[in-house]
Structures are given as structure tokens and as C-alpha cells.
Chain A
Amino acid sequence: MDYLTEGFLVLTLMSLNSFNKEIISYSKENKAEEICGFVLLCPDNSVEITKEVNVNPDPSKSFSISPQKFINYSINKKILGIYHSHPFSDESPSAQDILCSEESGIPYLIHSLQTNKFFLYYPESYDPAELIGRPYVKGFYECTCLFKDYFLKNLNLNITKWNKNY
């Protein structure tokens, strides 16, 4: 799928966060299967990633996380996104990735071991956080995200689908 011609907007991020680097390392340690986990915003505004067990029956082609994990992490932290790797394909979200992201309303951050690039997929069902008082989290809470979310929250204008390919 060509996201530019499909009407998606792609923004290039300027640098990698430490959590991006953690995901890359984790991907490279598990080249035979999709690794997965959460990107979490903690109460002290720090960001952490979790390393979840991929419980999918075919972990080389897909990933699944126990539903209980969603509940556990939602109690005291905010789930900013779900990350996973594509060991054998590029960073573009699969049809299944898009479906699951839409169902959950959670952005999907995908790292490809083939291209060593990320893709951040924002679902149509995404409900932006409050505009004021966000801590800075590259890719999730930054000036361009605020711009996109402002239009969605205040004007109901989904001006972009800010998939970030970096």
C-alpha cells in the first residue's frame, strides 16, 4: 500500500527516542519471530516499554498479547501505543495490524528488521488525549501531533492520518 497516494500523510521524525532504540535491540535479539509490547506513559511522565510474550500460535508471522495485560497496564499508566516487529517484511502495517489498531484505538508502532525503519500507524478510531498538559513524547506527543489532534478534537476534522515512517 502506498500511504501517500492513499491520502495518508507521512511525517519524518527527527531522531530516535531511547525507547525506539530499545525496540530495535529487542527486535534484533529475536530475529525469528515478532516481538511485541506496550509503550507506556508513567504517572511521573516518563516513558517505558514493556516486553510481552507473543502468544500467537505463529509468532513468526503475527503477534498477540494477553488481554489481561491491557487491563493491568491501564490501571496506573497510559498506553500510548503497541509496538511489534516485522522480522521478514517492511515496516508497513499489515491488514491485520490496521484492523487490530482500529479495534483497540491504539496506535501501532512497527519496526522492520528488513529495513530497520519504524512506522507509526494512527487508527481512525484514535481518541486524542487532552491538548494541554501533555508531556513531550516523540512520535506520540509533540507539536505536529498536537496540531493534528487539535483539528480532530475541536473541529472534528481528521486532516491527516499521521502515520510516521521513520
Chain B
Amino acid sequence: MTDSDDEANDLLINILNNNTKNIEIKEIKEHDILVFQIKNNGRKHVGIYLGNDYFIHQCGNTISRKQLLDNRWQSKIKRAYRHPSLV
């Protein structure tokens, strides 16, 4: 009944791989999708880059927010994706 975090993460990555373009992290621009690894257990987190070093996201049990993509968050980015219409 309840699926594991690993299954959910794999599904999310598969969905992004199948529907968006994987891009280099150093090339991110507004509207790009950022996938973070926030814990060592492999759990993934998703945010959207807003440009000018800000992104929007919602972590578990917190309010959704616009936040500075500082060094701490940058170090957690594992993948970046772009919608096909924005390529």
C-alpha cells in the first residue's frame, strides 16, 4: 500500500527524464527544474529556479517559499531539467 522513498524518487527522476531535457547545472536559467538530494538516504527534493540566484520550493512540513540559492543549496543540486518548450 505504501511505497518507499526510493520508488518515489525513481519515479520522479524517470518522469523528468522522459518529459524534460537534462541540462548542465552551471547552465540553469529561469523556469528550470532543480532536483536536490537533501539527505544522505537518497531522498530527492524538487524546486524551480527563478533566476538571479533565487528558487522556489517546498520542503516537508514547511511553508512554500522563495529562497536564495546559496552555497548550501547549490551543493545539494543533483540534476537540472528544462521544459522542452523552453529549450
Contact = CB atoms under 8 A, between A and B. Distances in A.
Interface of A: 9-16, 116-117, 131-136, 141-147, 150-151, 154-155, 157, 159-160, 166
Interface residues of B, number: 31
Interface of B: 1-5, 7-8, 11-12, 15, 19, 31, 33, 45-48, 56-66, 83, 85-86
Contacts of A155: 31, 83, 86
Contacts, number: 85
B15 A9 contact: yes
Nearest to A130: B64
B48 A144 contact: no
A13 to B, nearest CB: 7
Contacts of A157: 83, 85
Contact of A147 (B48, B60, B61, B86): B48
Contact of B64 (A10, A132, A151, A154): A132
Contact of B48 (A14, A135, A136, A150): A150
Nearest to B10: A12
Given A14-B8, A143-B57, A132 B66 contact: yes
B65 A132 contact: yes
A151 B63 CA distance: 19
A147 B46 contact: yes
B58 A146 contact: yes
A136 B63 contact: yes
Q: Which 8 A-B pairs have the closest CB atoms?
A: A134-B64, A12-B3, A143-B46, A12-B8, A14-B8, A150-B48, A146-B58, A143-B58
A134 B58 contact: yes
B8 A13 contact: yes
A150 B7 CA distance: 24
